[in-house]
Amino acid sequence: MSRLIPTGPEFIDIVLSKIQRKTPTVIHPNYKISRIRAFYMRKCKFAQDCFDEKLGQILTDFPKLDEIHPFYADLMNVLYDRDHYKLALGQINTARHLIDNVAKDYTRLLKFADSLYRCKQLKRAALGRMATIMKRQKDSLQYLEQVRQHLARLPSIDPNTRTLLVCGYPNVGKSSFMNKLTRAEVEVQPYAFTTKSLFVGHMDYKYLRWQVIDTPGILDHPLEQRNTIEMQSVTAMAHLRCCILFFMDLSEQCGYSVAEQCKLYHSIKALFVNKPTMLVINKIDVMRPDQLNSADKALIDQIVVKDNIPMVQLSCFTEEGVMDVRNMACDTLLAARVEQKMKNTNKMGDVINKLHLTTPAKRDDKERPAFIPEGVKNKIKYDTKDPNRKKLEKDLEVENGGAGVYNVDLKKLYKLENDEWKYDIIPEIMDGKNVADFIDPDIEEKLAALEEEEERLISQGFYNSDSDLEMDTEVDIRSNVREPRPKKVLDKETRSRLESRMPRKRTRSVSQGVNIARSQSVGTQLINNPTLSKRAKTSMRSQTRDRSVMGLSSGQKEVSLGMKAKTDRKKNLLAKAGEADRTIQTKMPKHLFAGKRGFASDRR
């Protein structure tokens, strides 16, 4: 139950506003009477559907007491009163049927309406009667809303899982024990009835999930006089399959004597039938059972001996014995659940009938003891002091350097016709062929011969480069270059006179362009001239090569040139706005703002 249940007036407003939004609201003068009837009949049927949907949702969401677990049914009876709960749901169901009848009657009357006025009045009467029916359900709706809010706050308890249930007088340490085992963080205070409802915590034991339930304190008086808080504990103890931990405080700091606590146990022990029960003595840091007087000690011994209930001791303050109590309770419950499952399973008899244990009959007086061979004995019994036992892999590991040094020999266990085959090299297969068949057996000798020939060529200077020749040529070129003349320093007057005589910049003529192209073609012809040396061709090519992409492969050159072209491209400032621009193109889209009239009017 997560939906809010509206009150009576809110319910009417919700339905009428939905009718206004979801159905047509305008009748034009040219409409025929048949269309006018259909217009108002649609209003009545739509109102019926809205009320039916809302009320049906309420009836579906609330649990039916006859269909849920008896623990939850009794708990709801304790908290909300079964009669009031059923009565409220019954009134909601009756209101739904009345609204259906009203809609059916007025739809029949609208078929015979002969004017717009009569159709409208019949529609108003139908909606008015539906609204009146809903106004009368305001108390039921208010009650169900309170129940919904309280149900949402109840803990989620699984009645069939492994459960430890803590019970006893108020202020005996139940909530403290709960906080030690789980992370429920139940409030703990030094006064009675701090816990007023059931609290659930979860823990893990033996890789299983367990739930621990902390119940409110119970006082020793008749069942009819117990209040709602105490009845929650009684309901949990009566219906849950769990291990009962009955807590007692021998120090009497809880405000109740040992005799009163024993009396409470005898009054509620009828609820512990067929359930594993443990008597838990808390606060042993203050008082232990052996420190009691004889009368109180006799009362406790009577519970332990007569009812055959184990007694355990713990102290939540010092945490002494807390985990021992938990482990013992969990083991006891697991054993009880297994035993109960064995009793209730019908298939166990069929399985036992299929099993047959054969016992051989004794034919003479001769003793025939069991015979176990020595080899099997060594395998069964691992005795490190026996000199005749078989060595294990662990012994070999210790003898050969220990873990990390010793490598297990897996090939020694191979079962082959010849033991010499165990350590043969396993052939490598590739594409269905043995790789060893394609290896030259003389490859190492050939490789050694190649290396000797390589060393001989290096010693003879076969791989020497012509770097010396290049150095000589470079020296000759530098010697032929004249030294630059010293720059003359002219005065201002002489410099201005020379600048006036210099010719101005002019554009190239057609003849000059032809000469430039001719010179470029001549350069190309010179490069392709076979009489030139290789070094001259390389130097001439380097002068015509683009240095920005030198040293790059063909693929890298294409990427570099593409990036250069993209950066050189001018920005298109006059482009149209697109989806990537962070602007709203249409301020008021028609499908959101066009529709019915903007002014308010009562058209119900």
| Tens of pLDDT, residues 27-61 | 888 889 999 999 999 999 999 999 999 999 999 98
| Tens of pLDDT, residues 66-121 | 888 888 888 888 888 888 899 999 999 999 999 999 999 999 999 999 999 999 99
Region of residue 319 (phi > 0: left; psi between -120 and 50: alpha; otherwise: beta): left
| Tens of pLDDT, residues 296-311 | 888 888 888 888 888 8
Look at residue 479 in the predicted model and tell me its pLDDT: 63
**pLDDT band at residue 231 using 50, 70 and 90 as cut-offs:** confident
Q: Cα angle at 300 between 298 and 304, to 5 degrees?
A: 115
**pLDDT band at residue 490 using 50, 70 and 90 as cut-offs:** low
- Report how far Cα 558 is from the mean position of its chain's Cα atoms: 49
Q: What is the C-alpha separation between 91 and 526, in angstroms, rounded?
A: 111
Q: For residue 522, is pLDDT > 50?
A: no
**Whether this model's pTM surpasses 0.95:** no
Higher pLDDT, 347 or 265: 265
Q: For residue 124, is pLDDT > 80?
A: yes
| Tens of pLDDT, residues 438-454 | 888 888 899 999 999 99
Q: What is the CA radius of gyration of the chain?
A: 51
**pLDDT band at residue 531 using 50, 70 and 90 as cut-offs:** low
Average pLDDT, the chain: 81
Most confidently modeled range among 263-277, 338-352, 481-495, 521-535: 263-277
Contacts 24+ apart (CB under 8 A), 568-573: none
Residues 6+ apart with CB under 8 A from 436: 427, 428
The single residue listed with the structure tokens 């969990």 is 330
Look at residue 90 in the predicted model and tell me its pLDDT: 93
Q: For residue 472, is pLDDT > 80?
A: no
Residue % of the chain over a pLDDT of 90? 19
Q: Which domains does the chain have, with CATH numbers?
A: 8-150 (1.20.120.1190), 155-344 (3.40.50.300)
Look at residue 385 in the predicted model and tell me its pLDDT: 65
Average pLDDT (7-21) is: 91
Look at residue 465 in the predicted model and tell me its pLDDT: 62
Q: What is the C-alpha separation between 250 and 297, in angstroms, rounded?
A: 10
